[in-house]
Structures are given as structure tokens and as C-alpha cells.
């Protein structure tokens, strides 16, 4: 894992879960994320980065709600960097980008039986979680 103020680096092994880059010798079977497999309409990266992420950055308090914690400006900025990095590597856009309710943001790739989530936690940790039929198959810090 590495990150700077201006970018967020994602390892090639993690990128393999998005069907981009070189798997780099990982032993687990990497799922293919072909946009055509998506069960729902796809948003574009620019729609996500310039849409909800930009809107939340302007006013994070819009996500304050009953018993929930809105993401901070720093968390929103980091989520934008992660999104930009995935976009620049050619990854398909996520199905959804949503607040986690406890101060984080999740980029989600919902493929029916397979569900991939990248969670940007309020503490600054970024995690990749891969589920198959509800079972957690892979979990790693990015």
C-alpha cells in the first residue's frame, strides 16, 4: 500500500480483481470483471467522481443522518484518489458509491453472486473485500 497527497497506488495483484494489470503470481483465482456482466446499468467514472464525490466534498454534512456518521473531507478526498487510480488503470466503473454509515465510503462492484467492495475507512485504511455467494473470499489492505 502506498499513497501520496496526489495519487493512490494500487498493486497489480489487487488490480487483477478488476480484470486489469498483471496478476503477478497470486495464488487465488481472480474473478473477471467484465462490464458486460453487470446486472445493473453502469455509471461512468466521471459521473461518480464529478457527481456524488464532488457533491459530498462540497457539503459532507448532507450524509449526516439518524445515528449515522458522515465521511470527513479527508475520507472523501481519499475516495476520489482511489476512484481516479482505478479509472486510470482501466478498471470498470463501480455499480455504486455509497457512504458506509460509520464515516467511510465504499466503491461497490455488484455482479450478482460476486460482490466486490473497496472501503475507504475513516481511519485512512483502504480495504479490498471480495465476496462469492456471501462468503468472504479475499480481504486485503490496498
Which CB atom, from 74 or from 136, has the smaller least distance to another protein?
136
**Site membership for another protein, residue 31 (CB under 8 A):** no
Residue range at the interface with another protein (CB under 8 A); choices 1-9, 16-24, 30-38, 60-68: 60-68
Q: How far is the CB of 130 from another protein (least distance, A)?
A: 11
Of the residues 19, 20, 98, 140, which one makes contact with another protein according to CB under 8 A: 98
Question: Site for another protein (CB under 8 A): how many residues?
Answer: 25
> Any residues with CB less than 8 A from the CB of 135 and at least 6 apart, and which?
none
Strand partners, 127: 119, 141
Residue range at the interface with another protein (CB under 8 A); choices 6-14, 20-28, 67-75, 76-84: 67-75
**Site membership for another protein, residue 23 (CB under 8 A):** no
**Site membership for another protein, residue 58 (CB under 8 A):** no
Of the residues 19, 20, 43, 129, which one makes contact with another protein according to CB under 8 A: 129
Amino acid at each position: 500500500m502506498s499513497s501520496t497527497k496526489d495519487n493512490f497506488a494500487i498493486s497489480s495483484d489487487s488490480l487483477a480483481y478488476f480484470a486489469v494489470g498483471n496478476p503477478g503470481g497470486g495464488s487465488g483465482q481472480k474473478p473477471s470483471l467484465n462490464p458486460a456482466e453487470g446486472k445493473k446499468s453502469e455509471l461512468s467514472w466521471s459521473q461518480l467522481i464529478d457527481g456524488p464525490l464532488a457533491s459530498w466534498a462540497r457539503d459532507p454534512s448532507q450524509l449526516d443522518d439518524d445515528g449515522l456518521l458522515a465521511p470527513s473531507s479527508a475520507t472523501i478526498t481519499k475516495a476520489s484518489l482511489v476512484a481516479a487510480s482505478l479509472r486510470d488503470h482501466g478498471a470498470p466503473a463501480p455499480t455504486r458509491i455509497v457512504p458506509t454509515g460509520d464515516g467511510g465510503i465504499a466503491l461497490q462492484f455488484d455482479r450478482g453472486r460476486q460482490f466486490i467492495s473497496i472501503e475507504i475507512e475513516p481511519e485512512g485504511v483502504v480495504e479490498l473485500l471480495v465476496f462469492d455467494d456471501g462468503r468472504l473470499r479475499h480481504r486485503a489492505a490496498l
